[in-house]
């Protein structure tokens, strides 16, 4: 039987593993406010379910608090936090963003979390750090409405701010690489037709995304998360990543179609609402249907995004074991 790393490597090489890999990830509200408690919660998550890779999921503000953003836990079932203070309110605030070093308190805190995980996780378990795109970070720095208004009314200011965010993020990725992570989980949230035009996304999204992914190119398990619906799938499917994740149960393309449009592996197949509110039998059925779509090739069973923190243990076990009970 293959270990976790071997199973992922075989799958991404386009070969047939002993079974397709499976991984789910979630936020850990309140525990995500210190490196020690986030590491402990993540380790317990892995101990409970033995996923084929571990995605580290800090609060999205980990990369923003050093610029003055503030947030609070307000009970979201996704485990995400509510922003209570935006660092950018006026157009010229984009020009005031300063380049952060990795010893800035909150960036350093997340690097400490990774160091703790590297010490405690078995070497056979791949470790992936969540990294938010510059546009995703800008959204939380300013708020969605302000970001989109500034992007169209003051594009030069926003561009300058995105450059600062991008270079700070590159520094963080390079520092995380030195700790021995296996990849980054790169979250792209604005490749959606109801937010930006294709041209806008190319200029303010793709141009910066590719520079960050270049800093991560040496890693073997880089995952692109394409958030939302009505996405510019083909635009991001050209990114240099090993695995592509999107809301396949909520928006096109299907897993089968995506495999004809993306050269790497795909991960998905399970609906988050079904995981949170359905039955193990429904989860088995979705896993079987995903397996039929992909033939088990270049496929990792998962969901389109973070799962609800209210997902019951029985359904998590069903997801973890679904591909072990298929005929």
What are the residue boundaries of the structural domains of the chain, listed by start? 4-324
Q: What is the mean pLDDT of residues 41-66?
A: 98
pLDDT above 60: residue 326:
no
User: Considering the chain, what percentage of its residues have pLDDT values greater than 90?
Assistant: 99
Q: What is the mean pLDDT of residues 227-247?
A: 98
Residues 12 and 14: their CA atoms lie apart, in Å, by 5
pLDDT above 60: residue 327:
no
Query: Considering the domain 4-324, what is its CATH architecture?
Result: Alpha-Beta Barrel (3.20)
Claim: this prediction has a pTM higher than 0.95:
yes
């Amino acid at each position: 039987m293959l270990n976790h790393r071997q199973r992922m490597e075989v799958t991404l090489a386009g070969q047939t593993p002993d079974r397709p890999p499976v991984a789910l990830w979630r936020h850990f509200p309140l525990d995500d406010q210190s490196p020690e408690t986030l590491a402990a919660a993540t380790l317990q998550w892995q101990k409970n379910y033995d996923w084929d890779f571990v995605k580290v999921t800090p609060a999205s503000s980990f990369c923003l608090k050093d610029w003055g953003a503030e947030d609070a836990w307000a009970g979201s079932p996704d485990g995400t936090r509510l922003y209570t203070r935006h660092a950018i309110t006026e157009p010229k605030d984009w020009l005031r963003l300063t380049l952060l070093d990795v010893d800035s308190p909150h960036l350093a805190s997340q690097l400490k979390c990774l160091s703790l995980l590297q010490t405690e996780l078995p070497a056979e378990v791949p470790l992936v750090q969540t990294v938010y795109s510059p546009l995703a970070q800008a959204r939380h720095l300013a708020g969605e409405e302000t970001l989109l208004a500034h992007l169209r009314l003051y594009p030069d200011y926003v561009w300058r701010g995105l450059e600062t965010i991008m270079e700070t993020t590159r520094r963080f990725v390079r520092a995380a690489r030195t700790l021995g992570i296996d990849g980054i989980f790169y979250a792209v949230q604005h490749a959606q037709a109801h937010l930006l035009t294709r041209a806008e996304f190319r200029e303010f999204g793709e141009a910066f995304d590719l520079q960050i992914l270049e800093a991560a190119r040496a890693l073997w398990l880089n995952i692109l998360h394409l958030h939302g619906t009505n996405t510019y799938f083909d635009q991001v499917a050209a990114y240099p990543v090993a695995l592509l994740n999107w809301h396949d149960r909520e928006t096109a393309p299907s897993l089968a179609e995506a495999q004809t449009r993306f050269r790497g592996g795909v991960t998905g197949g399970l609906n988050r609402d079904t995981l949170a509110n359905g039955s193990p039998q429904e989860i088995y059925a979705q896993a079987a249907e995903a397996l039929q779509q992909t033939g088990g090739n270049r496929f990792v069973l998962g969901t389109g995004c973070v799962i609800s923190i209210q997902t019951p243990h029985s359904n998590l076990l069903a997801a973890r074991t679904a591909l072990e009970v298929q005929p």
